[in-house]
Structure formats: structure tokens, C-alpha cells
């Protein structure tokens, strides 16, 4: 077993990273491994900071975005920390490698009016898929969870008596998110359809029409389809609903730290990108309410 395989086993069994994260780390490190084998006839345990910088330059020349490159560098940092801990290398070549500076962009989101139309006015089919799709859209917008978190939800994660859902986020960190009464009622309706079709009330919460666990491409496809009916924003992905949740919560006066906890952010700075709209809302209120606001 080579160093990369050992590292992935470490991520799986000790760090308990998700399969998606494991694959991302593996792809990044193998890409680097292939590069230094081809360009330097060297192995990963022989890499220096100079070699790593040359790889970074090669990725830039291949049009890798700063965000993508930073993710790859993060993978290498974890990898070389592991190799140093295991005594495979004597020093960490990543210590002198800095991440690319990325300008923070305002996330796309849809308005409260558009969300209201999506969940209250839009016609959904009365069959299993229509009921499921609405339940999925509600789960995204009412809880702000990530796509991977939604797919991983189990029926038993929903506590109907307490009106809350247990979510396992990045690095298996658990958090509890409250559910609205209307959402709980619709979830119950969905589960009735689910049980009638598949005869089971256990396992993954959201299933395909064939009874399998939902997969990302399918969710992207139907979320895009529904959002296209209510909004003209360019990005129409599940993450837009997460953005909408955070922005609308903050606009309506929610505490920043509370939103941070619900979203499962480690750093408050990750949540602060959603305050852009709140500032605009404050300006609007200020202009309308101040005695000289119209001057």
C-alpha cells in the first residue's frame, strides 16, 4: 500500500471524513503525485517547496481557479502533516506555501417573495416525486443544510415530537435544527407516500422513484427546474436555497451566531458573507424612517 492509499484509509477510519471528501483528497494528491513523477521523476516523500510551487504554476497555466487551487493545497497540507506524523518525511514542504488570495463574492440567493411563490403557489405533481421534491425544497430552505447533508439524512434523524432534525455535517459534526410546523406536516405527508410506495419507514429519508438514495445530479436537476419557474438568478442550485435561508434569516433580525450554528459553519467569517443584504436592508429602513431620509 503506497502513502496515498494509507492517507485515504486514515481519512476514512480515523478522521471519518465523508466518501465525497475522501475522493476529493485522493484526486488532488494523485494529480500532484503524477506531476512530480513525470516532471521530476520523484515520489511524494521527496517533494520540496520548490517542486510544489512549480506544480502550482502548472495548475495556473492550466486555468485552475484560485478556489480550486486552494482546495488542492489544503489537500496537500493535510497529506504532508500525515506523512510528517508517520515519519515518512523529516520536514513539511507545505510550510512555505501560501494559499491564493480570493476576493469574497456575494452569494446568489432568491428573494423572500420568490421563495414564498416556490413553496406556497407553485403547482407540484400529486405523485410521490412531486411530494418528495417539495419536501426536499422545504428542507433546504427551512434548515439551510448542504446537499451532502440532505442526502445523508435518515428517517430517524427527524424528531416529529420535538419538531427538529439531527444533521451530520462536515467531519461528522452533529447539530440540531428546529423545524417549522408547516414543514413537519408536509414531511409527514411525504413519509406516508414513501411508506405506501416502498413499505418501509426506516433508512434514508429521501429516495428516488426506484427506492434508492437520492444522488446529487438528480437533486441539482429538479432544484434547477423548480427555481427556473420562479426566479431569473443565474445560479439555480441547492446551495442557492442555503444562501436564501441565511440571508432571509439575517434580514429578519436573526442573531449572527445562531445562524452560524444552524449552518454548521466553523468560523463566523463564513457566515458574515450573508450580512451584505442585511446592511442594504438597514440602509433602506434608515432612509425610510429617518426624518431627513428623503432629502
Q: Report the candidate in 25, 141, 147, 113 with the shortest Cα–Cα distance to residue 77.
A: 25
Residue of 25, 82, 190, 274 marked catalytic: 274
CA pair distance 259, 167, nearest whole angstrom: 15
Told to judge if 248 belongs to the known catalytic residues of this protein, a careful annotator would answer no
Residue of 170, 175, 220, 276 marked catalytic: 170
* CA–CA distances in Å: residue 3 to residues 17, 186, 193, 250: 18, 49, 48, 45
Q: What angle do CA 183, 156, 214 make, to 5 degrees?
A: 75
Told to judge if 35 belongs to the known catalytic residues of this protein, a careful annotator would answer no
Cβ contact 190:155 at 8 Å: no
Cβ contact 274:259 at 8 Å: yes
Residue of 12, 53, 175, 239 marked catalytic: 239
Told to judge if 276 belongs to the known catalytic residues of this protein, a careful annotator would answer no
For residue 59, the tally of other CB atoms under 10 A from its CB is 17
Residue of 3, 33, 134, 146 marked catalytic: 146
Residue of 242, 243, 248, 260 marked catalytic: 242
Told to judge if 146 belongs to the known catalytic residues of this protein, a careful annotator would answer yes
Told to judge if 290 belongs to the known catalytic residues of this protein, a careful annotator would answer no
Told to judge if 242 belongs to the known catalytic residues of this protein, a careful annotator would answer yes
Helix (H, G, I), strand (E, B) or coil at 218: helix
Residue numbers annotated as active site? 146, 170, 239, 242, 265, 274
Amino acid at each position: 500500500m503506497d502513502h496515498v492509499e494509507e492517507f485515504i484509509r486514515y481519512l476514512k477510519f480515523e478522521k471519518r471524513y465523508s466518501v465525497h471528501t475522501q475522493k476529493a483528497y485522493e484526486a488532488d494528491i494523485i494529480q500532484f503525485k503524477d506531476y512530480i513523477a513525470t516532471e521530476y521523476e520523484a515520489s511524494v516523500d521527496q517533494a520540496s517547496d520548490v517542486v510544489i510551487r512549480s506544480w502550482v504554476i502548472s495548475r495556473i497555466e492550466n486555468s485552475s481557479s484560485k478556489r480550486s487551487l486552494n482546495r488542492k493545497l489544503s489537500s496537500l497540507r493535510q497529506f504532508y502533516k500525515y506523512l510528517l506524523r508517520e515519519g515518512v518525511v523529516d520536514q513539511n514542504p507545505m510550510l512555505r506555501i501560501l494559499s491564493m488570495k480570493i476576493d469574497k463574492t456575494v452569494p446568489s440567493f432568491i428573494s423572500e417573495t420568490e421563495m414564498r411563490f416556490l413553496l406556497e403557489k407553485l403547482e407540484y405533481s400529486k405523485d410521490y416525486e412531486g411530494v418528495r421534491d417539495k419536501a426536499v425544497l422545504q428542507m433546504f430552505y427551512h434548515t439551510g443544510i448542504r446537499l451532502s447533508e440532505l442526502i445523508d439524512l435518515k428517517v430517524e434523524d427527524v424528531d416529529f415530537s420535538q419538531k427538529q432534525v439531527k444533521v451530520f455535517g462536515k467531519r461528522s459534526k452533529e447539530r440540531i435544527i428546529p423545524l417549522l410546523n408547516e414543514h413537519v406536516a408536509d414531511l409527514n405527508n411525504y413519509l406516508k407516500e414513501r411508506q405506501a410506495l416502498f413499505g418501509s419507514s426506516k433508512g434514508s429519508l429521501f429516495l428516488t422513484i426506484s427506492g434508492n438514495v437520492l444522488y446529487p445530479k438528480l437533486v441539482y436537476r429538479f432544484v434547477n427546474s423548480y427555481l427556473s419557474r420562479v426566479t431569473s438568478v443565474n445560479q439555480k442550485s441547492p446551495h442557492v436555497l442555503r444562501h436564501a435561508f441565511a440571508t432571509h434569516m439575517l434580514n429578519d433580525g436573526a442573531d449572527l451566531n445562531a445562524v452560524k450554528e444552524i449552518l454548521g459553519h466553523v468560523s463566523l467569517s463564513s457566515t458574515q458573507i450573508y450580512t451584505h443584504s442585511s446592511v442594504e436592508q438597514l440602509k433602506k429602513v434608515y432612509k425610510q424612517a429617518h426624518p431627513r431620509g428623503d432629502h
